[in-house]
Structure 1
Amino acid sequence: MENTVEVENYKIEKPESWAPNIDDNQLIEYIKESDFSNKQVEEGRDFCYFLDKVYYTNDNGNSEYACVAYTLNEPSNLESASVRDVVVEENETYIIHRISVLRDGVLIDKIADTKIKVLDSENQSEGGVLSSNKKVNITIKDLRLYDVLITEDSRVKVFTDRDFMRKEFLKYVYVTPSTYWAYGNYKFSFINDRKDPIAYKKAFFRDEEGNVLEPEINYLKQGERFVIEKENYINFFDTNREVAPFIDFATDSNWIDLANYIAPLYEEIYNKASLKEFAPKLVEKLDAITDKDEQLQFAIDYVQNHVYYIFNADEMNGHKPQEPSVTYENKQGDCKAKSVLLKVVLDYINIDSSVVLVNFNTDHYITHYLPSLLTFNHVILKINYKGETYFIDATSRDEFGLVENRGFIYFLHYLEVKPNQGLQVREPHKFTYYGINEKVDFSAQNNKGQLKLVTTYKGNRANYMRKYFKNTNKREIIDSWNNFLFYTLNYSNDRNGTDIRTIFKDAVIEIVSDDKKLNEFTIQYYSSIENPYFTDQQKNRFLMYFDRNLVKNNARDFMHTDIPFWHNFDNEKYEIHLTTDEKIDVQEKYTIQESTINNPYFDYTSRKKVTKNGASIFIDYKPLVNLEIPLKDFEDFRNAHHTVADSNFGIGIDIIEQGLLNMLKYSFKKRLK
């Protein structure tokens, strides 16, 4: 075997005493064909003869063990088995116990055919993501189709002083296996060897009819173990519509005790030094601002944009926040450091704030998990100002506006770093402004169209658009708008395949204004269009403008049974005017159709104004956001969006062609209505 780099990140030795002890004869005995295994192979799937997994924890570290034997009948699995990477954290060791294959009934040791390299697992340092993780690259020579591969290994994480929180608290989420694999024998064991009891909660397990069972919570004392063992096992759940069953293991605690544990750690840091002592120049700038709103904006802008964000993966869950004086001096820090610095700045200007713990990625699951500080992976700041509550991510960049106009952060659950705090749930939110406010004028004269859009973006939309216009080529931006309008004007149905640039020949787009306090970003698009009408197969002509962004297809198509729909849309307002020098059908059903939707989760109105040579629509959409739509309300919510999609997201006008036959056709059509 060729070992090319340092060996401290991996070892080759026997398993620990708490792990199973499986000899070669037992291995061969476990790998037996059966009616169950033959059926899986006949269906073209690889088969796992057995999988034995163990998670072991004590007060000094955590370890994971696995012994698995599976077929290499599929080329893709052969490829992934031949070369794989194992990422190990700081002070974690990957231990290889066995690498073998069963070939034609003979067990062959493949350790000698294994090449191991240890590499830095680092590819994001330029973006401020620091990690001392290592990547153990394992290459096994001469694996063959129809071999049975057996691997037995462990990962052992030894705690350091920096891991004081992991020493104190355990969190481990066991997720039931992939639905791809069928298992002859499957076993999972959790062994608690810590002095404190471990709670475990089973979630999203189902009965034989597929109904989710009530969560079940039990406890493991020191020396006790939890075991799942199954034969001829396939994990049946609908991966597209259901959550995989999982078990959350965590040190037995409650949210109030956890808040009382972490609050003093932060309180100690807040009081290390005063802002006047370590940041006199910043204090001078703050004191020079007399308007409180602007003072708050300056403080947020300073920490977000003048202090570089560094995410240290090894320290995120493992150490006290960096002192604000160090963060200010070095002009860099992780989310904890930047949030603490911002709080100290706000304390100086007498604005109430507190650090809060969040996890945007698993926000929905937090109430399904047991209470644990290790559930959270990010720190932000909660600001109470003028009777309103705002959440600010100190690690964000390219954010602008007074506090009420800044981008809105979507999440539901958080733990405030103060004594005696429980897990909090944010109230649903209604925006006081429109994320999009757009006016469209589309006129057709002498079979030539003039199209003008003036759009004002605010809040999150303004931040995104400002960044998009800054970082994107102008030609690419115009092409993006042209492509959107190609569908909005329905040209995709009568001139599909045409080069869009030949339709919108002289399209221009420009920034009209950029208000950094109101966080409003206004743009204007203009283009002239030859043949502006959509023409159907019967040669009928229409002037149309239907903005498909108003049709929330992710709401209409949502089908998940376990996770409620997350409602996070912006307020939107549109004013669309179509005019022509042709005669139009002023009684056409969809031209005059209006809508009023008062769903508990959004209000939507469309109002029309029709003249002999044109029509206008005024659309107002105001959702209640930052909430999960309860299952009992979802079908009504979905149907309300179907109503929007039923020609209520824009306007079209029908041209009455000149000539006797066309007038007769129009009169006949009118009588049929």
Structure 2
Amino acid sequence: MDNQIHIENYKIQKPESWAGSVDDQQLIEKIRESDFSNKQINEGRDYCYFLDKIYYTSNSESNEYVCMAYTLNEPSNLERASVMDVVVEENEVYHIHRISVLREGVLIDKIPDTKIKVLDSENQSSGGILSSNKKINITIKDLRLYDILILEDSRVKAFTDRDFLRKEFSKYVWVSPDNYWAYGSYQFTFVNEREEPVAYKKVFFRDEQGNVLKPETHHLKKGERFVIREENYINPVDASREIFPFIDFATESNWKDLSNYIAPIYEEIYNKSSLKDFAPKLVEKLDAISNQDEKLQFAIEYVQNNIYYIFNADEMNGHKPQEPSVTYENKQGDCKAKCVLLKVVLDYIGVDSSVVLVNYHTDYYIKYYLPSLLSFNHVVVKINYKGEEYFIDATIRDEFGMIENRGFIYFMHYLEVKRDQELQQRKPFRYPYYCIDEKVEFNAENKTGKLKLTTVYKGNRANAMRRYFKNTNKREVIDSWNNFLFYSLNYSNDRNGMDVRNIFKDASIEIISDDKKLNEFKIEYQATVENPYYVDPQNNRFLMYFDRNVIKASARDFLHKDLPFWHNFDTEKYEINLYTDQKIDTEEKYTVQESTINNPYFDYTSRKKITKNGATVFIDYKPLVNLEIPQEEFETFRAAHHTVADSNFGLGIDIIEPGLMNQLKFSFKKRFK
């Protein structure tokens, strides 16, 4: 076997005694044909003869053991099996116990045909992310279609002094297996060898009718095992509409005890040294700012933009926070380090704040998980200022504005790093400003249209647009707006296939202003359009402007039995003006149609002003966000969005063609409409 690097990240050895052992003959006997296996294979489904997974936890290590045998009947599966990558964390070792194939009834050891390389894992290796993860690349020669591949391996992570949380607390989430595979035998075992009891909670399991069962919580003492066994098994979960059943295993605890465990660790770091001692130049700058609002803005932006974000990918919760003096001196740190420094700065200027633990990616599931500090993978700063709560992510760059004008971070659950805390849930949020405030003017005269869009972005939108204009080629920006307008003006239906640059002549886009205190970013787009009217197949002409961003397709199309809809839309305001030198139908149904929607989750109005040569619509959308829509209320919520989509997201005007015959035709149409 060709080993290119020392064997420090992987080993070839027998499994641990708690995993059991299986000899070659027993292995062959486990790979048996059956009516179930033949049915799956005949249907073209890949088949796993057996899968045995064991998770072992102790106060010194965790170990994930897997033994499985599956078919290589599909070329794509054969390719994936021939070259595999296994990523291991710091202090994690990949143990290979067996690599074999069963070919025409003969068991063949493939370890001699296996080539192993250990590489640095390049995933997320830039942008301030430091990772000591390694990627173990495994190449197996001479695998053949219709082989049965047998893999037996373990991933062992030994806890060092830096992994103090992992030593103290265990957390593991088992998720029911992929429903692509059919399994002759499936078994999962959790082995607790910790001194402390481990609780486990079964969530989103279902009865025979598919109804979700109430969560169950049980406990494992040291030396006890939890086992799930299935025979001739295909996971019945509807992956597009249902959450996979899962079991959360965690060292038995409660949120109050956990907060009392973590708070002293942070308190010790806060009190290591004073800001005046380690950052006199920063203190001098802070003292020079007399306005408290501006001082707070400066403090936040200093930490966000001047301290480089280093994300240690091994385990965010595995290390104590870096001292703020070190973070300031080195001008770099991870999320904990940056947040601790920000809090120390805020303490100095007299602004109440605290560090809080969050997990953006699994925020929905935290309410189902057992209490565990290992459920969080990120920290942010909570600021109480002038009677309002704000959350600041110190790792984000290029964000601006007084605190009330800054972007909003979407998440629901957090644990404050203070003593005697419970898991908290944020209140729903209503923006105090419009994230998008846009005025559209389209004037058609003779055969030419003059188009101007003036847009003010605020909050998250301002930050995003500021970055977009900074990092994107000007021509690409203009093309993006041209493509958007191609659909908004309905040209996609009468000049599809045309180059948008030939439709929107002399298109330009400019930054009009950028207010870093109000966090307002204002731009203006202008273009000339020849033949500005949309012409339908009957040669009727229209001026139309419908902004499809106003339609929330994700709300209209949402379908899920278990997940509630997460409401996170921006406030928006539009004024759309369409004017022409032609006579228009001032009574056309959709031209004059207005709407008013008031429900617990958003207010929406469209108001019209009609003249003989044009019209204006004023659209105002104010959602209540950062909340889940209860399933029993969702269809009413969806119906309201359908109302918006029913021609209430823009404006269209019908042109009355000149000439006596056209006038008679129009009068006749109106009379018998």
The bucket for the TM-score relative to the shorter chain is over 0.9
Partner of 2:299: 299
Partner of 1:48: 48
Partner of 1:370: 370
Answer yes or no: is 1:314 the counterpart of 2:314. Answer: yes
Instruction: Give 1:328 deviation, angstroms.
Output: 0.2
SS at match of 2:41: helix
Partner of 1:525: 525
Partner of 1:274: 274
Give the AA of the match of 2:623.
P
Partner of 1:101: 101
Partner of 1:512: 512
Partner of 1:432: 432
Instruction: Give 1:313 deviation, angstroms.
Output: 1.6
SS at match of 2:317: coil
Give the AA of the match of 1:236.
P
The CA distance in 1 between the partners of 2:46 and 2:622, in whole Å, is 51
Q: Which deviates more from structure 2 when the two are superposed, residues 120-129 or residues 514-523?
A: 120-129
Q: Per-residue CA shift, 1:587-611, capped at 9, x if unaligned?
A: 0000000000001100000000101
The CA distance in 2 between the partners of 1:472 and 1:93, in whole Å, is 43
Partner of 1:146: 146
Q: How does 1:235-254 map to 2 (within 5 A)?
A: 235-254=235-254
Instruction: Give 1:660 deviation, angstroms.
Output: 2.1
Answer yes or no: is 1:359 the counterpart of 2:353. Answer: no
CA contact 1:122–1:130 (8 Å) conserved in 2: no
SS at match of 1:348: helix
Partner of 2:29: 29
The CA distance in 2 between the partners of 1:6 and 1:419, in whole Å, is 46
Answer yes or no: is 1:460 the counterpart of 2:460. Answer: yes
Give the AA of the match of 2:193.
D
SS at match of 1:549: coil
Give the AA of the match of 2:571.
N
SS at match of 1:410: coil
Give the AA of the match of 2:177.
P
Instruction: Give 1:315 deviation, angstroms.
Output: 4.8
Q: Per-residue CA shift, 1:280-332, capped at 9, x if unaligned?
A: 00000000000000000000010000000000122511111000000000000
The CA distance in 2 between the partners of 1:509 and 1:29, in whole Å, is 71
Partner of 1:503: 503
Partner of 1:395: 395
Identity %: 76
Question: How many residues of Structure 1 are paired with residues of Structure 2 in the alignment?
Answer: 673
Answer yes or no: is 1:156 the counterpart of 2:160. Answer: no
- TM-score normalised by structure 2 residue count: 0.99
The CA distance in 1 between the partners of 2:427 and 2:491, in whole Å, is 43
Instruction: Give 1:121 deviation, angstroms.
Output: 1.4
The CA distance in 2 between the partners of 1:571 and 1:124, in whole Å, is 33
Q: Per-residue CA shift, 1:365-405, capped at 9, x if unaligned?
A: 00011110000000000000000110000000010000111
Give the AA of the match of 2:624.
L
CA contact 1:12–1:96 (8 Å) conserved in 2: yes
The CA distance in 2 between the partners of 1:244 and 1:66, in whole Å, is 20
Partner of 1:225: 225
Q: Per-residue CA shift, 1:134-177, capped at 9, x if unaligned?
A: 11111111110001111111111111000010000000000111
Give the AA of the match of 2:78.
L
CA contact 1:71–1:149 (8 Å) conserved in 2: yes
Instruction: Give 1:124 deviation, angstroms.
Output: 3.6
The CA distance in 2 between the partners of 1:454 and 1:59, in whole Å, is 61
CA contact 1:47–1:71 (8 Å) conserved in 2: yes
Instruction: Give 1:122 deviation, angstroms.
Output: 3.4
Q: How does 1:49-68 map to 2 (within 5 A)?
A: 49-68=49-68
The CA distance in 1 between the partners of 2:257 and 2:669, in whole Å, is 74
Over 3 Å counting, the alpha-carbon distance change for 1:315 and 1:364 in structure 2 is closer
SS at match of 2:18: coil
CA RMSD of aligned residues (A): 0.8
Partner of 1:541: 541
SS at match of 1:407: coil
Give the AA of the match of 1:388.
E
Q: Per-residue CA shift, 1:485-525, capped at 9, x if unaligned?
A: 00000010111011110110111110000000000000001
The CA distance in 1 between the partners of 2:91 and 2:441, in whole Å, is 64
Instruction: Give 1:123 deviation, angstroms.
Output: 4.4
SS at match of 1:177: coil
Answer yes or no: is 1:90 the counterpart of 2:128. Answer: no
SS at match of 1:188: strand
CA contact 1:203–1:215 (8 Å) conserved in 2: yes
The CA distance in 2 between the partners of 1:55 and 1:557, in whole Å, is 39
Partner of 2:606: 606
Give the AA of the match of 2:368.
H
Instruction: Give 1:431 deviation, angstroms.
Output: 0.5
The CA distance in 2 between the partners of 1:121 and 1:439, in whole Å, is 48
Give the AA of the match of 1:316.
M
Q: Per-residue CA shift, 1:634-666, capped at 9, x if unaligned?
A: 000000000000000001110011122211211
The CA distance in 1 between the partners of 2:66 and 2:377, in whole Å, is 27
Tell me which stretches of 4 or more aligned residues in structure 1 moved more than 2 Å. Answer: 122-126
Partner of 2:264: 264
Partner of 2:349: 349
CA contact 1:355–1:379 (8 Å) conserved in 2: yes
The CA distance in 1 between the partners of 2:672 and 2:190, in whole Å, is 73
Partner of 1:204: 204
CA contact 1:430–1:625 (8 Å) conserved in 2: yes
Partner of 1:194: 194
Partner of 1:566: 566
Give the AA of the match of 1:360.
Y
Q: Per-residue CA shift, 1:77-134, capped at 9, x if unaligned?
A: 1111111011111111111111111111111111111111111113444311111111
Instruction: Give 1:672 deviation, angstroms.
Output: 2.3
Give the AA of the match of 1:450.
K
Give the AA of the match of 1:201.
K
CA contact 1:357–1:379 (8 Å) conserved in 2: yes
The CA distance in 1 between the partners of 2:509 and 2:413, in whole Å, is 41
Q: Which deviates more from structure 2 when the two are superposed, residues 652-661 or residues 367-376?
A: 652-661
Partner of 2:77: 77
The CA distance in 2 between the partners of 1:607 and 1:6, in whole Å, is 72
Q: Per-residue CA shift, 1:15-69, capped at 9, x if unaligned?
A: 1110021111111111111110001011111110101110011111100111101
Structure 2 unaligned runs (5+)? none
CA contact 1:442–1:450 (8 Å) conserved in 2: yes
The CA distance in 1 between the partners of 2:330 and 2:151, in whole Å, is 46
The CA distance in 2 between the partners of 1:123 and 1:56, in whole Å, is 27
The CA distance in 2 between the partners of 1:89 and 1:649, in whole Å, is 50
- TM-score normalised by structure 1 residue count: 0.99
SS at match of 2:467: helix
SS at match of 1:505: strand
CA contact 1:162–1:315 (8 Å) conserved in 2: no
SS at match of 2:264: helix
Q: Per-residue CA shift, 1:228-249, capped at 9, x if unaligned?
A: 0111000011111111111100
SS at match of 2:173: strand
Partner of 1:594: 594
The CA distance in 2 between the partners of 1:581 and 1:4, in whole Å, is 77
The CA distance in 2 between the partners of 1:241 and 1:616, in whole Å, is 41
SS at match of 2:339: helix
